[in-house]
Structure 1
Amino acid sequence: MGKKTSKRFSHNGERTMENDVLSPKVKKIARDDVLIKIHYVDSLGKDIAQSKTIKGHYLDKLDIPWQEIPGYVLSSVTNFQQTFIPNPDGIYLVYANQLSAPVIVYHRNTDGNLISDPEYLVGELNCEYDTKPLEEANHFLIRSPKKARGQFTQHVQEQEYIYNVLPIKEYKITKNLFVETAADINAYSQPLNKVPLEKTLPYGTTWKVYRAVQEIYSNTIWYNLGGNTWVPSTESIVTETINQVSSRQEMLNSPLAETASNISYTYSVIDSMDINRSVKILYYKDQNITAWKTPYGDMDNQRYRGGQSVLVNKIVQLDNYSVWAELKDGYYIESKYLNL
């Protein structure tokens, strides 16, 4: 008998081959050598970050390594793919340059008033920022922002520090303190005010100081020159003490009737003119104007309102070029307060 050949059939009658005949000849294709290069470029194609090469199995899922790049925001993707398939050009992540919004830091006292100018922090988009309290007021700090650190974004952010202290304190001055202007300088209605009064104090004039306060968080001193007139030490001024002889003060009840040297202990009259007419108070219309017993001498509780009519007897110019008006009631005010 001839050699019998063994045959096997599948359940549907089709003939199959032995597994040990199939397996050595057929192999599963497994490619793990697919390399994809990721480029990070700006809108002009210039590299803005180090490129990366990722490796994966053929047709496996591809996860692009996105990056946050300070100063840029992702705008588009070129040659995008979701699986590992050969791509000799690589994938390009295109970023657009974009500026961030500022972070504003406020430093306030417990009344909500600013004790220093707001800080404006600026930086590149997505860069980190770090806010800090005022170094000179750190021991007064009672409340800090919940997150003092963060990242610059496209939206304005605000941070707030609260301190339990008054912004100013009394500052002791000598009895006969004066300030002399080294330029035309700004005056203010009260300490810490940021908006100056309408008119400046002229260059080369000297003013008596009646009170002073100092800012807690700086060396700035505010000098009161009478009424609602304050000058900070940051202006171009020089302080000086001018000693006055008390025995001569009694002679100043009617200074223009005396010799010119009696007008004050510092200045002499260099010119005068009789006018004898009614004028209006126009300087600082929403404020009261202080009356002086003598120019640069003693102030009085008498006040004049903006818009009020007063009778001026005489105009006097001193040797510091300041001009004063002698009123009918015997008081003096500077001519700049009047519509002469």
Structure 2
Amino acid sequence: MGKQHTRHHFSHNGEKTMENDVLSPKVKKITRDDVKIKIHYVDSLGHEIAKSKTIKGHYLDKLDIPWQEIPGYVLSSVTNFQQTFIPNSDGIYLVYVNQLSAPVIVYHRNSHGQLISDPQYLEGKLNQSFDSHPLQEANHFLIHTPNNASGQFTDKVQEQEYIYNVRPIRELKIQKNLYVKTQNNTNVFSEPLSKDPLDKKLPYGTSWKVFGAVSETYNNIIWYNLGGNTWVPSSEKITTEIVNRPTTKQEMLNSPLNQSVNDISYTYSVIDSMNINRNVKVLYYSDQYITAWKTPYGDMDNQRFKGDQQVFVNKIVQLDNYSVWAQLDDGYYVESKYLNL
């Protein structure tokens, strides 16, 4: 008989194995199906910013990293990245960097597009959730809400708009002898709802006659008209009072100044008077006007004086509330603070 030959097989790495598939000592077969990988969430300094997770899978199976949105942070890099389950004692590190978010601006308008309150600025961490809400005091007038009143803060400014079916102001009836008294140097405005005060303020402790009033329809703020384009809101430090002095007229008639100031309003008494008899200039911008009065704190007139205009002053008088008025040669009165005396 001829010589019998033994058949050999070769493993995938070229090593010989016996026909009965007995493994050689150099070949290892991995059969574990419980490979565990720890996922760490850290900042750029290595500090943990979220609880780590451990994921488990079969050897060489696809590994899906559990990405995570962390408010105030954005993913920057990955350390020890791998796509399959292979042993990794160090774990995978997801590195985040801190990042500021942009605000969400919420507008509240009436149906004519006018703002009925100051815009609201919602602020929070990046990716943090936010909720916007309508004005509580005007909620029953609401006719439009934003498509997404809730969302997440991003690195871009977001805007939302609520619309209400309201008139911005409504007229109020006032008592005939209503005055406001300042509790501080007080801002005044050219019209109701204005956000920009006029340059001059009402002095502390002075009283001013009210000629009309309007109320904001979405809150309790009242705007008082002190004559012409001069308005003061109740949100300023003021008080209101009804001034009735039935005996003041007689007091003025008995005053030694009566002959020269007999047309002064009966609301206040005159405590001093001085002749001026000279031309002065109106201390206002050339495109602005001041109001003329028939009597101080009495009735206004349609007569207006323009800024930089020359007027002739006969005399000045001081009332018992320490306000000073100029009597012009045409008989009208203007407050002396508006003149270059």
TM (normalized to structure 1)? 0.88
Give the aligned partner of residue 92 of structure 2.
Answer: 91
SS in 1 for 2:45: coil
**What is the correspondence of 1:1-340 to structure 2 with a 5 Å cutoff?**
21-22=20-21, 29-243=30-244, 245=246, 248=249, 257-258=258-259, 263-340=264-341
Matches of 1:270 and 1:36, distance apart in 2: 93
Q: Answer yes or no: is the 8 Å Cα contact 1:69–1:126 preserved in 2.
A: yes
Matches of 1:190 and 1:246, distance apart in 2: 35
Structure 1 residues 212, 40: CA separation in 2 closer, same or farther (over 3 Å shift)?
A: same
Post-superposition offset of 1:245: 4.5
Query: What letter matches 1:223 in structure 2?
Result: Y
CA RMSD of aligned residues (A): 2.9
Q: Answer yes or no: is the 8 Å Cα contact 2:244–2:267 preserved in 1.
A: no
Structure 1 residues 246, 230: CA separation in 2 closer, same or farther (over 3 Å shift)?
A: farther
SS in 2 for 1:137: helix
Post-superposition offset of 1:248: 4.9
Q: Answer yes or no: is the 8 Å Cα contact 1:40–1:49 preserved in 2.
A: yes
SS in 2 for 1:263: coil
Matches of 1:271 and 1:246, distance apart in 2: 19
SS in 2 for 1:138: helix
Post-superposition offset of 1:307: 2.0
Q: Answer yes or no: is the 8 Å Cα contact 2:73–2:99 preserved in 1.
A: yes
Q: Deviations over 1:244-292 (max 9, x none)?
A: 549959x99xx96537797333322222221111112123543221111
Q: Deviations over 1:95-139 (max 9, x none)?
A: 111111100000001111100111100111101111111112122
Q: Deviations over 1:134-175 (max 9, x none)?
A: 112122111111111110000110000111111111112111
Q: How many residues align?
A: 327
Matches of 1:119 and 1:247, distance apart in 2: 50
Matches of 1:38 and 1:131, distance apart in 2: 35
Matches of 1:51 and 1:103, distance apart in 2: 31
Q: Answer yes or no: is the 8 Å Cα contact 1:256–1:263 preserved in 2.
A: no
Aligned-pair identity in percent equals: 72
SS in 2 for 1:227: coil
Matches of 2:274 and 2:127, distance apart in 1: 70
Greater mean alpha carbon deviation, residues 329-338 or residues 130-139: 130-139
**Structure 1: runs of 5 or more not aligned:** 11-15
Structure 1 residues 331, 23: CA separation in 2 closer, same or farther (over 3 Å shift)?
A: same
Greater mean alpha carbon deviation, residues 113-122 or residues 238-247: 238-247
Post-superposition offset of 1:29: 3.6
Q: Answer yes or no: is the 8 Å Cα contact 2:274–2:315 preserved in 1.
A: yes
SS in 2 for 1:32: coil
Structure 1 residues 80, 53: CA separation in 2 closer, same or farther (over 3 Å shift)?
A: same
Q: Answer yes or no: is the 8 Å Cα contact 1:176–1:244 preserved in 2.
A: no
Matches of 2:294 and 2:135, distance apart in 1: 45
Matches of 2:92 and 2:248, distance apart in 1: 95
Greater mean alpha carbon deviation, residues 267-276 or residues 289-298: 267-276
Greater mean alpha carbon deviation, residues 75-84 or residues 107-116: 75-84
**Structure 2: runs of 5 or more not aligned:** 10-16
SS in 1 for 2:155: coil
Matches of 1:101 and 1:209, distance apart in 2: 45
